[in-house]
């Protein structure tokens, strides 16, 4: 993607209003495991509206988890992610900075960051090699990365019902190969497996509920990344209500005007993966193989 993706900008208010907050116990887990101190700088890459960044700033009681949080976000159209992030981070004054940048070009100084955090965004950081190089450049020697991801629990009946109804009735859902997030490759990408050094990671899994009215569920479904990768923005709203939302509420709302969608919340901590330059023998073997296949 380019520096600004309008599809994320139009979803900025949904990210603010509808998507559930990150779990404070998982933020505490990261602070403790990475040994973050009040002198450290945290960078939230793909910060969006600052939902995760906020949780690393000094809180109202004066407890300080770090010195400063820098929010790096590429989607900077008017009223989009960067604007929302500025608004949300303003109360933290000098403890928070918002910059326009992306994973391969953060604009941050060499060795200036102790902890990189990523919230529901790691799967966008492809190909991994230039991203890891940039992360290594900005991280201190002992710097770490923490990747947060939340997704509807594929084992929950309500999530399976939602998925089935969307698949059967919504063309845009089918045409973007949406799958339930139970595919091992999808979970691995969302958890940043391509960015983390294998076998040096530690993770924590928890559960949270997103409780929504019909209108909130519609907005969530219309926003990017609601299920796996795409939004129902071009789908007829009346059809989504009739075929998807109303039947879901009829079955699961149990006489209230809200439903709860169970989500899995995962955080993985580790070192940034090291991409070694190819040694000359490996390069020669690769070139010979490619020549044989005519792909030079
Ligand atoms: C699903 S949103 C998550 C936003 C935020 N971290 C949160 O938890 O609410 C993904 C974010 O990643 C950003 N993004 C996408 N590709 C990116 C890239 N190559 N570098 C940095 N950010 C990127 C998008 O603009 C969007 O704000």
| pTM of this structure | 0.88
Instruction: Give the per-residue SS3 of 104-127.
Output: CECCCCCCCEEEEEEECCHHHCCC
Q: Which tens digit of pLDDT belongs to each residue from 186-236?
A: 777 788 999 999 777 888 999 999 999 999 999 888 876 544 445 566 678
pLDDT at 2: 43
- Residues 162 and 248: beta-carbon distance below 8 Å: yes
Q: Is the preceding peptide bond at 102 cis, omega within 30 degrees of 0? A: no
Q: Tell me the three state secondary structure of residue 92.
A: helix
- Using CA atoms, how far residue 274 sits from 42, 43, 44, in Å, is 20, 19, 20
pLDDT band at 1 (very low <50, low <70, confident <90, very high): very low
The domains of the chain are located at 6-153+181-209+264-276
- Kindly give the distance from the C-alpha atom of residue 240 to the centroid of ligand 1, in angstroms, as a whole number: 26
Ligand 1, atom 23: nearest CA belongs to which residue? 46
Lowest mean pLDDT among 72-81, 214-223, 257-266, 278-287: 278-287
Residue 242 has pLDDT above 50, yes or no: yes
The CATH classification number of 6-153+181-209+264-276 equals: 3.40.50.150
Q: Residue 289, SS3?
A: helix
Which residue's CA is the nearest one to ligand 1's atom 11?
A: 46
3-class SS of residue 184: helix
Q: How far is the CA of 290 from the centre of ligand 1 (A)?
A: 35
CB 263 within 8 A of CB 151: yes
């Amino acid at each position: 993607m380019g520096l600004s993706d309008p599809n994320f900008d139009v979803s900025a208010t949904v990210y603010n209003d509808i998507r559930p907050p990150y779990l404070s116990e998982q933020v505490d887990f990261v602070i403790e495991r990475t040994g973050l101190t009040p002198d450290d700088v945290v960078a939230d890459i793909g910060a969006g509206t600052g939902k995760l960044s906020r949780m690393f700033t000094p809180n109202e009681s004066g407890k300080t988890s770090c010195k400063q949080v820098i929010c790096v976000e590429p989607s900077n159209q008017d009223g989009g992610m960067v604007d929302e992030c500025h608004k949300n981070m303003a109360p933290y004054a000098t403890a928070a900075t918002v910059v326009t940048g992306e994973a391969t070009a953060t604009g941050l100084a060499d060795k200036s960051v102790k902890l990189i955090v990523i919230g529901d965004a790691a799967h966008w950081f492809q190909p991994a090699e230039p991203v890891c190089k940039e992360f290594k450049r900005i991280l201190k020697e002992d710097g770490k990365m923490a990747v947060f991801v939340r997704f509807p629990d594929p084992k929950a009946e309500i999530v399976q019902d939602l998925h089935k109804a969307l698949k059967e009735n919504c063309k845009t859902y089918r045409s973007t190969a949406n799958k339930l997030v139970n595919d091992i490759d999808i979970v691995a990408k969302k958890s940043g497996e391509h960015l983390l050094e294998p076998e040096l990671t530690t993770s924590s899994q928890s559960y949270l509920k997103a409780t929504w009215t019909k209108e909130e569920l519609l907005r969530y479904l219309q926003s990017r990344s609601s299920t796996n990768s795409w939004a129902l923005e071009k789908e007829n709203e009346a059809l989504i209500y009739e075929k998807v939302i109303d039947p879901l509420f009829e079955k699961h709302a149990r006489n209230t005007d809200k439903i709860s969608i169970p989500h899995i919340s995962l955080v993985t901590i580790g070192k940034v993966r090291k991409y070694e330059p190819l040694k000359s023998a490996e390069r020669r073997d690769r070139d010979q193989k490619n020549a044989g296949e005519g792909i030079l």
